[in-house]
Chains A and B, each alone.
Chain A
């Protein structure tokens, strides 16, 4: 049995016709199922666990990157097949997974091409898309082997799993941090100096890793899958093959 988790923004009138077309297509393929609408404070893990007990075999996330990150960061430990129906703007993860945005995603779902995805884990919580630490006086220790620090002291850190990320250089050039083959990669950019109108940055460093510890004497901000918190020490790990996901043929890994 398929369960469809709709994001709250899909209630808007502009998505009405698209949603109807998708629902018709799913019925044609014989994979239509129960529709649940996510509320702002609903815990997706509890909802999915309940549905698994009632016989759900596949949970399809319907929405954008934010919906995907919000649901999977909490429900990654659920033993069920996940799928994704990307709708609307801000759908970069869908491109990585090889799923077209809109109605065509139903074709990918019907083919059920499954792949186990790696996810990141930090301080008792999963993150699927990315983790971001803005400029802070942090030191980073990789796999208990080597330590990375900056001469200026301030560093920005991005750990990318599925969602690509962009950095703007000093001369307006762009560094796009794109996802690789499912392994975690840490991108570090130290700050050179703070100018009158803008900050100047060094070229970014890239380190693939399995475990890293980020420390600081003062609390620093951490943003993982859109959720912010303040920490003084975090351990980031790779949780291998955690999510069983339906992907497209044109996936980027």
Chain B
């Protein structure tokens, strides 16, 4: 039934996914159902169904027809399937035309192809610190101005006192 193999051939020769087969470490095949929290240190390729949190520090690829029902956390992500849950990507998130996401998205770089559906809040981490900085810097500026005013007043007072002593 099985032939003798040669170890130099790659795992899958006819894989049409975005990632080359050698880079993929975990593959959830079609018609396979994974229940529970699913985490990996390497790349994850999802072609089937996952009911539970998915977590990786590297690339997550969700193929068309695949479904994830829980929160997703990844370093980079290419989504072509359906996700019902929040998606948190620390770098680049790519949504293809078949992507369907029902949940909040947070990422640094977002690429969306026409046809992708998002129901939820999108927050880009690159924008939030600037707002905080502006408000903080304004506060700091006002404080500094107040401090300098106080200092000048103090200096004036000292000079007055010195002049009185003299």
CB of A205 within 8 A of CB of B48, answer yes
CB of B33 within 8 A of CB of A150, answer yes
Number of chain B residues close to chain A: CB under 8 A: 35
CB of B29 within 8 A of CB of A202, answer yes
Pick the most buried of B5, B13, B30: most chain A CB atoms within 10 A of its CB: B5
CB of B31 within 8 A of CB of A202, answer yes
Contact with B along A176-213 (1 / 0, CB 8 A): 11110000000011101000000000111111100000
B10: Cβ under 8 A from any A Cβ = yes
Residue from A165, A174, A179, A190 in contact with B32 in the complex, judged by beta carbons closer than 8 Å: A190
Query: Distance in Å from the Cβ of B41 to the closest Cβ of chain A?
Result: 8
Contact with B along A12-27 (1 / 0, CB 8 A): 0000000000000000
A178 surroundings in chain B (CB, below 8 A)? 5, 7-11
Residue from B5, B32, B38, B48 in contact with A145 in the complex, judged by beta carbons closer than 8 Å: B38
Query: Distance in Å from the Cβ of A231 to the closest Cβ of chain B?
Result: 21
A168 surroundings in chain B (CB, below 8 A)? 1-3
CB of B29 within 8 A of CB of A190, answer yes
B11 surroundings in chain A (CB, below 8 A)? 175-178, 206
B85: Cβ under 8 A from any A Cβ = no
Residue from B5, B28, B33, B34 in contact with A166 in the complex, judged by beta carbons closer than 8 Å: B5
CB of B32 within 8 A of CB of A176, answer no
CB of A95 within 8 A of CB of B7, answer yes
Which residues of A82-123 have CB atoms within 8 Å of chain B's CB atoms?
A: 90, 92, 95-96
Query: Distance in Å from the Cβ of B28 to the closest Cβ of chain A?
Result: 6
Chain A interface mostly helix, strand, loop or mixed? strand
CB of B40 within 8 A of CB of A202, answer no
In the complex, which residue of chain B has the Cβ closest to the Cβ of A169? B14
Bound-state CA distance A146–B8 (Å) is 31
CB of B33 within 8 A of CB of A149, answer yes
CB of B32 within 8 A of CB of A148, answer yes
Do A189 and B29 contact each other (CB < 8 Å), given the known contacts A148-B34, A205-B48, A206-B24? yes
B112: Cβ under 8 A from any A Cβ = no
B1 surroundings in chain A (CB, below 8 A)? 168
Bound-state CA distance A90–B5 (Å) is 10
Bound-state CA distance A188–B31 (Å) is 11
CB of B31 within 8 A of CB of A151, answer yes
Pick the most buried of B9, B42, B47: most chain A CB atoms within 10 A of its CB: B9
Pick the most buried of A90, A146, A168, A190: most chain B CB atoms within 10 A of its CB: A146
Q: List 9 A-B contacts (CB under 8 A).
A: A92-B5, A152-B31, A164-B6, A164-B7, A173-B13, A175-B13, A188-B29, A206-B26, A206-B27
A-to-B contact residues, CB < 8 Å: 90, 92, 95-96, 145-152, 164-169, 173-179, 188-190, 192, 202-208, 252
